[in-house]
Amino acid sequence: MKSRNILLALPFALLSLSAMAAGNHDDSAIGKPGVASKVTRTVTVDMKDDMRFHSSNFNVKQGETIRFVAKNSGKVKHEMVLGTEKDLKDHYDVMKKNPEMEHADDNMVTVAPGKSGEIIWQFTSAGKVDFACLQPGHFDAGMKGLVNVAASKLPPKSDGHNDHKH
C-alpha cells in the first residue's frame, strides 16, 4: 500500500518541482505584472561582472508600476528576478542544477552581455520585495537587491457615483 501512495505522489512532486523551476509562485506577495501604459517611472539597474547590481536598493509606493531596465555591462549573462527571499533561494537551488534554464516569467529577465531587458511590475503590497541574479555563482557572490514598498496613504478610490439623492 505504501509503494502505491509513493507512486501516486511522485507525479505531484515532479509537477511542483517543474513549477518551481519555471518560476511559478504566488505573485501576490511581491505584486503583479504591470501594464506599460500605467508605468509611473523607469529605474535602470546596471548588472556588472563584480556580481553586483548597480543601484540595488529602491523605494517605491504601494500601487506604483515601475519599468525596470536591466542593463548588462558585463561579459557574462546576468538576470534580474523579483521574488520573496524564499522563492529566490529555492529557484537558485534549481538553477545550480540546471544552469542553462531559460526564463519567460513576467517577474524576471535574462540579459546577454552588452544587452538590456526590462520588467514592468506593479507593487501591490507594502513591505519588501527582493531581487537577485540567479545565474550559478552570482547569488552566492551577493548579486542581490531590495525594493522597499511604502504603504499607500491614499483613501480608497471613489467610483464617481454619489449615493445621495438630490
Q: 36-40, 90-94, 155-159 — which one is most confidently predicted on average?
A: 36-40
Nearest CA to 49 out of 73, 25, 71 is that of 73
Please state whether beta strands 65-72 and 127-132 pair in parallel, antiparallel, or not at all (unpaired). Answer: unpaired
Give residue for cell 503590497.
Answer: 125
Average pLDDT over residues 124-148: 95
Q: Which band of pLDDT confidence, cut at 50, 70 and 90, is reported for residue 7?
A: very low
Asked if 60 contacts 149 with a C-beta cutoff of 8 angstroms, the reply is yes
Measured CA distances, 154 to 121, 131, 150, 157, 158 (Å): 20, 27, 12, 8, 11
Residue 20: burial class (beta carbons within 10 Å; 0-12, 13-18, 19+) = middle
Q: What is the pLDDT of residues 83-118, one digit of tens each?
A: 999 999 999 998 888 777 766 789 999 999 999 999
Strands 144-150 vs 127-132: parallel, antiparallel or unpaired = antiparallel
Residue 130 dihedral angles phi and psi, to the nearest 5°: -85, 160
